[in-house]
Structure 1
Amino acid sequence: MSAARKRPRRLTARMRLTLSYTLFAVTAGTLSLAVVYVGMKYVPNYPLTSSNPRYRSDAPSRQEILDTLLNACGYALALLTAVGMIGGWLIAGRVLRPLQDITRAAHAAADGALEHRIALTGPKDEFTDLSDAFDEMLERLQRSFDAQQRFAANASHELRTPLAITRTMLQVAAADPNGQDWPKLVGRLQDTNQRGIEISEALLQLADLGHAPPETGPVDLADTTGRALAAVRDEASALGVTITADLRPAPATGNPVLLRQAALNLLHNALRHNLPADGRVTVTTGPDPDDPARVRLTVTNSGAPLAPEAVATFTEPFLRGRGRTAEADPARRGHGLGLAIVAAVTEAHHGRLHLAAEPSGGMRATLSLPAR
């Protein structure tokens, strides 16, 4: 049972505001009439009679005046109560009308209509602030939900591809077992299986980054980048890419394993999406010249010219240099999650990741972290 169903029923906010307005009006009226009544009773203090005792005065006595005033006060309070109830009900309804719009939008969002927006008009007040915050929350939820749907669909496609390839190769082998080159078939099956394992591990890494903050400690981007460079030297040589490194101290606070993985992914991306021959990669670490309180890692690679609008989408999962089409060359093929993992690692470390197309071709990736 939901928490809303467990709550005891009580008066609505509109009724409580109405009763509050009415109580205030009646209290203020009672005090005002009490002041008048006391003033009439004790001021003036001379008798309301004729100065000549031989003449009988038709003027009412003090007690008669007080009794009449008391009756009039009763009628006035009754009228004030009725006016307070009716006016309070109308005023409360007008004041709470924006809240009703927000409530309807919340119910619509709970039913799945995340595209609905309140767009409350009028002067800036508490209700418009709440409405704007709610609209911003709905917009972020819609973006997150759309990204999750795209991610699930793309992950299913990427994981299904190696499985489908494996099934096809096994079906062909089963149909003609004598006509197969078994060593070649086994090698292809191993490559396809390894691709599925890499995708699964990358997905698990993304999931872990999104659920728990990483353990952090003192780290130097120069050291983590140096270890990542050592791991890709052979791949760079095989692809014919020359790496130039300038690793200056860049002390920060972070998780060394995750930051090494981020540097490794940036290097893999720079190597695999490079020129077919005589490619270049430049790697630098050190203080951020744009912000003395930060350090940064920069990876720049040569390559084909890139459109700036395309670069802005590279951190989306399963987007590769050629869009969602995998490279034909296995040595340059990726699973499309490298930059998505870099973006997740950067966010987990409260850093900034900036991707920019180079005018001469290729891309510059800058990972900036708060300095230690």
Structure 2
Amino acid sequence: MRPGGDAGYLGSGSTIRTRIALVYGGAFLVLGTVLLLVVNLLVLAGTDDETDAIVARANGVANSVGNGVGNGVGNGVADGVAAGGAGGAASGAANGVAVVEAYELGDDISRAAGEQMLMWSSLALLVMACCAVVVGWWTAGRVLRPVHEMTARAARLSERNLHDRIAVTGPDDELKELGDTIDALLGRLETAFDSQRRFIANASHELRTPLATQRVAIQVGLDDDCGVRQVLLDANRRSERLIDGLLLLARSERGLAEREDVRLGELAEEEWADAYVVAGGGVVRGSRVLLGQLVRNLVANAVAYNVSDGTVDVRAEGGVLTVTNTGPVVPPDEVAGLFEPFRRGEGRDRMGPGAGLGLSIVRSIAEAHGGRVRAVARGAREGGGLVVTVTLPVTATSA
């Protein structure tokens, strides 16, 4: 686990939380600024229109009053016509000055109102932007809290407690989907670690057996030469087969470096002369060496675990290779375990001719080629034994 425990993860999460809060505040500030500009422009345009209308109405009233006063003065004076004309002129001049002053006053009022609105709106925008940052900080904390919990639980996991799960609860959302995905990954890792532990234990046992045999043979041979040479040779051959099998298994699990077109029917006929090939078999894109080993292991397994008067049938059709043999009846619940390394099945000889890696290598090679392998146990009425089917993707069918 990282030094400092969960604090390091929470610190990293706080950085993301700060970013989210700043994004909230920045987005609000940008959108608020746009809104403020639009509102101010609309208010300014509306104020100008209203000012023009008010000034026009004031001008009309002033003209009416001026005309009335001018007409009254002209009627009361002896030279009414001349005096009325002079009063109308004076009234018109006064009205013109009043109109100009009214327009200037309206512009000043409109400008002052716009400035006040812009100032207070900007101040309110800044305050609300700060509030948006605070809300974003709080919201991000609530959203990231399950992530912090998942991080803390994942930090406590190791190969010793892979059985623990994050087990996210709550609504079926993206965070729960992430937690379920991590739990599924932990399940696969737990299975892989368990398989690795069994493999190491079985490999240690298998490697220890020939060494113990050689030690006993050497000790016996020191006192009495009773075929110690043959025993040592057999143990050495068994060790060589086991090491070769382990190397081949590791090679197949690394994947394929190069691929070529391989006729599955030809491989079947090379390993079993009586193989029944339908329409030449299929063309598989992969490694000829590994595919040949796959067929070889299936045939060797069928021959090794057969009865003395039993039969072995090999059939290739398209990308499907089927190998059937007679032999001991295998319980159906033990069939899947035969594909595990060093598993020979109940009642099979632990010191038999193979190393217990044959079907494991077959499965690994099939998966490396994008295929799959399946075994079915035959009942006593069918003669016992197994039916092993390997299905591989084909690129074409041989003629």
In the superposition, the TM-score normalised over structure 2's length comes to 0.74
Q: Work out the CA distance in 2 between the residues paired with 1:110 and 1:278.
A: 53
Q: How does 1:80-99 map to 2 (within 5 A)?
A: 80-99=128-147
* Structure 2 counterpart of 1:25: 28
| 296, 312, 319: which one aligns with 1:264 | 296
Q: How does 1:130-149 map to 2 (within 5 A)?
A: 130-149=178-197
**CA gap 1:216/1:39 in 2 versus in 1, 3 angstroms:** closer
| Contact 1:21-1:88 at 8 Å conserved across structures | yes
Q: Deviations over 1:322-362 (max 9, x none)?
A: 378615xxxx5321001011111111221221101112321
* Structure 2 counterpart of 1:273: 305
* Structure 2 counterpart of 1:367: 390
Q: Work out the CA distance in 2 between the residues paired with 1:76 and 1:203.
A: 74
| 190, 208, 211: which one aligns with 2:254 | 211
Secondary structure at the residue paired with 2:162? coil
Query: In the TM superposition, what is the alpha-carbon distance from 1:149 to its structure 2 partner?
Result: 1.6
Match for 1:362: what amino acid?
G
- Structure 2 unaligned spans of 5+: 3-7, 63-105
Match for 2:292: what amino acid?
R
Q: Work out the CA distance in 2 between the residues paired with 1:150 and 1:30.
A: 66
* Structure 1 counterpart of 2:229: 186
| 261, 284, 304: which one aligns with 2:315 | 284
Secondary structure at the residue paired with 2:189? helix
Q: Work out the CA distance in 2 between the residues paired with 1:304 and 1:173.
A: 37
Query: In the TM superposition, what is the alpha-carbon distance from 1:63 to its structure 2 partner?
Result: 4.8
**CA gap 1:24/1:190 in 2 versus in 1, 3 angstroms:** same
Q: Work out the CA distance in 1 between the residues paired with 2:199 and 2:27.
A: 57
Secondary structure at the residue paired with 2:200? helix
Q: Work out the CA distance in 2 between the residues paired with 1:323 and 1:105.
A: 45
**CA gap 1:283/1:87 in 2 versus in 1, 3 angstroms:** same
| Contact 2:268-2:275 at 8 Å conserved across structures | no
| 28, 39, 43: which one aligns with 2:42 | 39
- Structure 1 unaligned spans of 5+: 54-58, 231-243, 288-294
Q: How does 1:290-301 map to 2 (within 5 A)?
A: 295-301=319-325
Q: Work out the CA distance in 1 between the residues paired with 2:34 and 2:275.
A: 84
Over the matched positions of the two proteins, sequence identity in percent amounts to 37
Find runs of 4+ consecutive structure 1 residues off by over 6 angstroms.
47-50
Q: Work out the CA distance in 2 between the residues paired with 1:359 and 1:252.
A: 33
* Structure 1 counterpart of 2:203: 155
Query: In the TM superposition, what is the alpha-carbon distance from 1:163 to its structure 2 partner?
Result: 0.6
| Contact 1:219-1:255 at 8 Å conserved across structures | yes
Match for 1:97: what amino acid?
R
Query: In the TM superposition, what is the alpha-carbon distance from 1:97 to its structure 2 partner?
Result: 3.1
| Contact 1:108-1:114 at 8 Å conserved across structures | no
Over alpha carbons, which structure has the higher Rg? 2
**CA gap 1:120/1:225 in 2 versus in 1, 3 angstroms:** same
Query: In the TM superposition, what is the alpha-carbon distance from 1:282 to its structure 2 partner?
Result: 1.8
Secondary structure at the residue paired with 1:119? coil
| Contact 2:299-2:323 at 8 Å conserved across structures | yes
| Contact 2:330-2:345 at 8 Å conserved across structures | no
**CA gap 1:64/1:245 in 2 versus in 1, 3 angstroms:** closer
Secondary structure at the residue paired with 2:47? coil
Q: Work out the CA distance in 1 between the residues paired with 2:328 and 2:150.
A: 50
Q: Deviations over 1:115-161 (max 9, x none)?
A: 33333345554434433333332222222222112111111111111
Greater helix share, structure number: 2
* Structure 1 counterpart of 2:79: none
Secondary structure at the residue paired with 1:215? coil
Secondary structure at the residue paired with 2:167? coil
**CA gap 1:333/1:10 in 2 versus in 1, 3 angstroms:** closer
**CA gap 1:322/1:159 in 2 versus in 1, 3 angstroms:** same
Query: In the TM superposition, what is the alpha-carbon distance from 1:210 to its structure 2 partner?
Result: 1.7
* Structure 2 counterpart of 1:15: 18
